Amino acid sequence: MSQAAAHRSLNGKAVEVHTLQRPHLMLTVMLLSVFMAVANIFIVNVATPSIQQGLHSDFFGVQFVISAYTLAYAVALIIGGRIGDRFGRKKLLLVGVAGFTISSLLCGLSSGVDMLTAIRVVQGLSAAMISPQILSLIQAQYAPEQRGKIFGLYGATQGLAASTGQLIGGLLLYWNPWGLEWRMVFFFSVPIGLLLLCIIPFIAESKETVQSKPDWFGAVLIAVGLFLLVYPLVQGQKEGWPLALIISLLLSVPVLALFVWVQKRLLHRNDDPLMNVNLFRQRGFRIGMLVVFVLMSSQASFFLITAYLFQIGLGFSPLKAGAVILPMGLGYFIASLFSSRVTYKIGPHVLTVGSVLTAAGYLSLALTVRGTGISPDIYVWFPALAVVGIGQGFIAAPLTNVVLSKVNKQDIGSASGILTTGMQVAYAIGIALIGIVWLNSLNYNANEASIQTELQLRQQWSVYAPLTKEQSEAALSKFRLCYPEMINAHSSVSPGCTSDDSTAEKMFMDGVRQANARSYTASFIFCLYVLAAYTAFLLPLSLKLARRN
């Protein structure tokens, strides 16, 4: 049994607060749920090249696999919180975990990228049922003096999931039980979900005593607006920016403007909108949202291009790719743990420190990669990767509290929901934008990479005996024609580029691997310079945010 008392939730409405006899059970549910949802993002990220190859897809299809999840998560997040407040947070948590578990199973059983993308939408909607219930349960089930510690564990769990997710994904792909390959990264969530489904019925229920009606029309408007915005950004490069996609991109502006107008009308009538857009009138909140957008979009961009550089460009196994990125994850985790102490000493300027480290880390990594080139000696990257992770940890962990401290107390609940939604929207847009930069850079570097590789192979043609000089020249000619086409098509070797002669085929494939290493590394360096310049905007933003009273 539990004892009930009246307290206030973050949105200022009365909730029934329970003093639990099984606090450890509640904590287990919350932390396992957070770990499952966050780790899924990073585990899937390291598997993107394997998913592309396994489903015979292209880069654009894999972009949608990631973006579909984050967009669905973002759009449904606030609605998920409202439904939980209305019908019971434990009930919605149970529904969310069940949906996430089933959709994870179905993702692993997908037979094509379109099917996988559709199920990822369901998985994102399910995750949106989980996250707001956890935050609300912390408010409802723990006394104010206990919440600081619980929120600290919540943040540390997110950091742990982010830091170990890519390594877990690499281990699953390396282990490859029963030959499941990329499917195992989705099946990983199934046993965790089943365990949670066994525990959740034993935790206490809570819901608002004053209930509000969800803004379904607002949810539809923002979903349509974001789809019209993100779909052209992902698909435009592939289809050559046809008129239909340009119109879609332009239509996103009036649709999102209509969403803002509808939200203002609801506020004017004292109804509950999906999003309190008046918060953007508060300068501190606007600046905080810009910090969120730059941080999350750059983070999403980096993880995507890193997975492709390591696995396709440098030919690393997923396990090695996950291990190489581990210093960044550990830096992020350690910075998250110590961010509260640093904040206590220097206040919101912890964001300034994180901003400097993040931009400097990207620049340092670009210079380091430029120095190592296509050399397999990538251990010298570790310090720069750790700096990036520490910088991001010093921003991400305290950011929500810093931003919420700048808004009016009665708006804290709405502000926290918008912040969380903004993180997911930024993640999806970051994936779309870096795709444009990455693919254009690959196309630009493909010819130079093929020329350098051809010269190297011509000098080594005797290694490919019994090929004659004429046969090796024919294989090189085919490579010279096919490689740029492969990069432009963003696909694997086309049937017309294969050879019946095994030695000639070996020469051709060696050329593809060497050219990939050159073109992917050069493109990665360019993208790092872009990210360093982009994240440099975090510094003036964080300084402005720190100065706000």
- DSSP string across 418-431: HHHHHHHHHHHHHH
* CA gap 265, 259 in Å, rounded: 10
For residues 251 and 271, the answer to whether their CB atoms sit within 8 Å is: no
Report the b/e string of 404-436 with b at 16+ CB within 10 A: bbbbeeebbbbbbbbbbbbbbbbbbbbbbbbbe
- Ramachandran region, residue 124 (left: φ > 0; alpha: ψ -120 to 50; beta: rest): alpha
Strands 14-19 and 3-8: antiparallel
* CA gap 214, 84 in Å, rounded: 10
Residue 52 has pLDDT above 50, yes or no: yes
pLDDT at 5: 39
For residues 433 and 67, the answer to whether their CB atoms sit within 8 Å is: no
Residue with tokens 């199973």: 105
* CA gap 495, 205 in Å, rounded: 59
Residue 13 has pLDDT above 50, yes or no: no
* Residue 207 three-state SS: coil
Query: If we measure between CA atoms, which residue out of 296, 313, 303, 332 comes closest to residue 44?
Result: 303
Kindly report the backbone phi and psi dihedral angles of residue 67, in degrees, each rounded to the nearest multiple of 5, phi listed first.
-65, -35
Query: If we measure between CA atoms, which residue out of 434, 416, 463, 396 comes closest to residue 529?
Result: 434
Neighbours of 402 (CB within 10 A): 23
pLDDT at 4: 40
- Give tens-digit pLDDT for 209-226: 666 677 888 888 988 888
Kindly report the backbone phi and psi dihedral angles of residue 404, in degrees, each rounded to the nearest multiple of 5, phi listed first.
-65, -25
For residues 195 and 373, the answer to whether their CB atoms sit within 8 Å is: no
pLDDT at 235: 77
Query: Strands (DSSP E) along 244-400, which ranges?
Result: none
Task: Pull the structure tokens for residue 510.
Answer: 């060696």
* Residue 501 three-state SS: coil
- In Å, how far are 2, 17, 20, 84, 153 from 204, measured between CA atoms? 8, 10, 8, 14, 20
Residues in contact with 234: Cβ distance below 8 Å, sequence separation at least 6, in sequence order: 60, 63, 64, 67, 431, 432, 435
Question: Could you write out the DSSP letters of every residue in 355-411?
Answer: HHHHHHHHHHHHHHHHHHTT-S-GGGGHHHHHHHHHHHHHHHHHHHHHHHTTS-GGG
* CA gap 119, 101 in Å, rounded: 12
Residue with tokens 């109804």: 271
Q: Distance of alpha carbon 106 from its chain centroid, rounded? A: 21
pLDDT at 143: 73
* CA gap 104, 115 in Å, rounded: 13
Ranked by mean pLDDT, the top range of 34-43, 92-101, 440-449, 476-485 is 92-101
Residue 15 has pLDDT above 50, yes or no: no
pTM: 0.84
pLDDT at 405: 78
Q: Distance of alpha carbon 373 from its chain centroid, rounded? A: 27
pLDDT at 208: 66
Q: Is 178 exposed, middle or buried (0-12, 13-18, 19+ CB in 10 A)?
A: exposed
- Give tens-digit pLDDT for 487-528: 766 666 565 676 667 777 788 888 888 888 999 999 999 999
Neighbours of 380 (CB within 10 A): 12
Give percent of the chain with pLDDT exceeding 70: 90
Per-residue confidence band for 10, with pLDDT thresholds at 50, 70 and 90: very low
- Give tens-digit pLDDT for 251-304: 999 999 999 999 999 888 888 788 888 888 888 889 999 999 999 999 989 998
Task: Pull the structure tokens for residue 412.
Answer: 């804290």
Q: Distance of alpha carbon 457 from its chain centroid, rounded? A: 39
Per-residue confidence band for 3, with pLDDT thresholds at 50, 70 and 90: very low
Partner residues linked to 15 by β-bridges: 7, 208
For residues 276 and 418, the answer to whether their CB atoms sit within 8 Å is: yes
**Maximum distance among all Cα pairs of the chain, rounded to whole angstroms:** 87
Written as one letter, the residue type at 49 is P
pLDDT at 12: 41
- For 55-112, where are the alpha helices, taking DSSP H only? 59-87, 89-108
Question: Could you write out the DSSP letters of every residue in 19-58?
Answer: E-S-HHHHHHHHHHHHHHHHHHHHHHHHTHHHHHHHTT--
